[in-house]
Structure 1
Amino acid sequence: MIAALIGLVGVVVGSLIVAAKETLSARAERKRNATYSAMRIVCELDHLVEICVAVVYDDGTEMGQLAGRMEDGQEYAIAQVDCPKELVFADDIVWKSLSGDLMYRALALPNRLQQANRNIYYWGRNASLPYLREYFEARQESYSALGLEALALADAFRQRFGMPNRSEPAWKTDRDPKTLFQETLDFLERSSDAATKPRSWGSKDI
């Protein structure tokens, strides 16, 4: 009787040990997946921030001159940087390994980009030549807001997973991206009823 009881206890203890090992193994695997996925997402966000910087600095001129020219010789502003049509994350990201708040914010970002592009299209339809002020201001406003969200989300991932700070871009601007985006939004809000001709958002007097 005692031997049978000892055997039963051994079986139960053995099962518990196996279950504990499987639980720890699954937890470690999820942690590895989460860390890897976070790194992949942050790399995509950093790239998006660089695109946003380029769009915000784009005022439709090249070397300070209107970059477009019609057949009759009339010059007009034309975008030098294309807005991305969509934001696609890597296929190997394990979304379920991430916490709900970060996962939601990341998955919502492609929709934010689509909303930004729709806003730009709306204001660009009736923008006035030659400077197309409404169009370029919509680009700069929309991508400044998108850039701030991408920066905030990347910082949240970095803090949660202990990743290093964002590296400096290969080409330097006179302001860091966060300052550029916020100052652009502030400037556009102040000048919403200002002169027709837009100013270059890269100038230091914004």
Structure 2
Amino acid sequence: MDKTAYVLIGVVLGVFLNAIKEWWFKKGTNKKELEYLAIRISCILDTFVNGCADVIADDGLCYGQPDKDGYRSIQTKTPDFDPLSVEVEWKSLKAEIMYEVLNFPNQIQSANHKISGAFEYAASPPDYEEGFEERQLQYATLGLKAYKLATKLRTIGNLPAQATPGKDEWNPIQFMEQKIKDIEKLQKERSSRNQALMQNLNTSA
């Protein structure tokens, strides 16, 4: 083999090794970016879950009492989630989970519209019962979605799972699940009463 062939092989080998080096470096960088994203966003979602639990516990009373006029009023601010305000490399995520995260604010907005509608068109003073029920129901649902999304991100980023509360500790996830069951039961009972009332009115007419 002549000198030119050796030089050519050396050039090709150099290019190949450099490409491997760049690929390996990029792979490591992408992994770090994904881990950082998973940490940042899962922590923000955990904060959102806690905020949802606070909203669910809000029954419109301050220390068990209505306001000076006898009305119930919102005591707890709803949590916010703005993922695009966080500087992370979104392209490190697969499209499906990226869509779930970036679409979550739209689900929050939709829930807030439903709550506003309940307070405006269904709830009556002084208790605004239907409004608070809808607010609790929507944020219990959002809280559970946020919890599942944070769990997915922790799995993708190979992060430790969130510690499960002990038997005697308060568990926000169980609190949300139970609240949804309780509200759906109340709404079903109310709907049955309203239907029975309408039937009685129609019968009497």
1:191 aligns with 2:183: no
1:101 aligns with 2:93: no
Structure 1 letter corresponding to 2:151: D
Match of 1:47 in 2: 47
**Which stretches in structure 2 are left out of the alignment for 5+ residues?**
191-205
Residue 168 of structure 1: CA displacement? 7.9
Structure 2 letter corresponding to 1:136: F
1:62 aligns with 2:62: yes
1:134 aligns with 2:130: yes
Match of 1:19 in 2: 19
Matched ranges for 1:1-206 at <5 A:
2-66=2-66, 68-70=67-69, 75-84=70-79, 86-89=80-83, 90-126=85-121, 127-166=123-162, 175-194=170-189
Residue 91 of structure 1: CA displacement? 2.9
Residues 46 and 166, structure 1, Cα contact 8 Å, conserved in 2? no
Identity %: 33
Residue 192 of structure 1: CA displacement? 0.4
State the number of aligned residues: 187
Structure 2 letter corresponding to 1:40: R
Q: Larger Rg: 1 or 2?
A: 2
User: Quick one: distance in 1 between partners of 2:88 and 2:171?
Assistant: 29
User: Quick one: distance in 1 between partners of 2:188 and 2:14?
Assistant: 75
What's the secondary structure of 1:125's corresponding residue?
A: helix
TM-score normalised to structure 2 length: 0.84
User: Quick one: distance in 2 between partners of 1:49 and 1:184?
Assistant: 14
Structure 1 vs Structure 2 CA RMSD: 2.1
**Which stretches in structure 1 are left out of the alignment for 5+ residues?**
196-206
Compared with structure 1, are the counterparts of its residues 128 and 193 closer, same or farther at alpha carbon in structure 2 (3 Å cutoff)?
Answer: farther
What's the secondary structure of 2:19's corresponding residue?
A: helix
Residues 54 and 81, structure 1, Cα contact 8 Å, conserved in 2? yes
Residue 69 of structure 1: CA displacement? 2.6
Larger CA deviation: 103-112 vs 10-19:
103-112
TM-score normalised to structure 1 length: 0.84
Higher helix proportion:
2
Residue 194 of structure 1: CA displacement? 4.0
Structure 1 letter corresponding to 2:130: E
